[in-house]
Amino acid sequence: MAATATRAMTDAEVSKEMEKMACVAFIKQEALEKAKEIKIKADEEFNIEKAKLVRQETATIDALFQKKMKQAEVQRKIAASNYSNKAKVRVLQLRHDLLGHVHTDTRAQLRSLVERHDEYKPLVEDLLVQGLLDLLEPEAVVLCLARDVELVESVLDAAAHRFQEMAQARVKVTVDKSNPLPESEIGGVIVTSANGRIKVLNSLEARLQIACEKLLPDIRVKLYGAPPNRRFFD
């Protein structure tokens, strides 16, 4: 069988084929450029979205950090305040205890004083005269410890005489032996009117209490120093 002869392409056919190839190349190039544009745009949108998410997460972390910092600061202030308050309470307790020691020591000294007859007797007389002057009644009744009855009776006349000189009036003074002061008292006297309605508390316990209340500010200054915000000292 004879072979089929190949026909040569005409110039028109060649030109047409070349146009087809050029068209394919153009389409391919357009596709590549379009794909490149899409990729660039996608990358840009990705980077924008990523930056947005990073900013959001950063803001969230910063807000959380600030919240934690504020909470920590509040806790620190609370702890510092609690510590300061406890320290103040402790100082106040120590000061209270120290004042209590001063009161106890003074009370012990007064108990020691009543044992020294030569010092205690003139003190009882002075307390009795002061009580009579405060009472200013024509008759007075004296209450004292049972163990002090004899001592008090020994100074009645002298005390009445001193009262008469100071008040320019006479007074009748008696000791109520049936109603002694309780043994918890240190000493001293209580002077009452004849009917018992008016009382002048001149026992050593009462005078100690009065002295403590009156001298407490001065005692505090001597023990702890003057308060820094104190403006007046009289």
pLDDT tens readout for residues 118-172: 999 999 999 999 999 999 999 999 999 999 999 999 999 999 999 999 999 999 9
Report which DSSP code applies to 202: E
pLDDT of residue 42: 84
pLDDT tens readout for residues 177-196: 999 999 989 999 999 999 98
The better pLDDT of the pair 231, 174 is held by 174
Please give the domain boundaries of the chain with CATH numbers for all domains.
107-224 (3.30.2320.30)
First vs last Cα of the chain: how many Å apart? 149
What is the layout of strands, in order, in the sheet containing 188-193?
172-175, 139-143, 188-193, 199-203
pLDDT of residue 10: 82
**Cα–Cα distance, 73 to 57 (Å, whole number):** 24
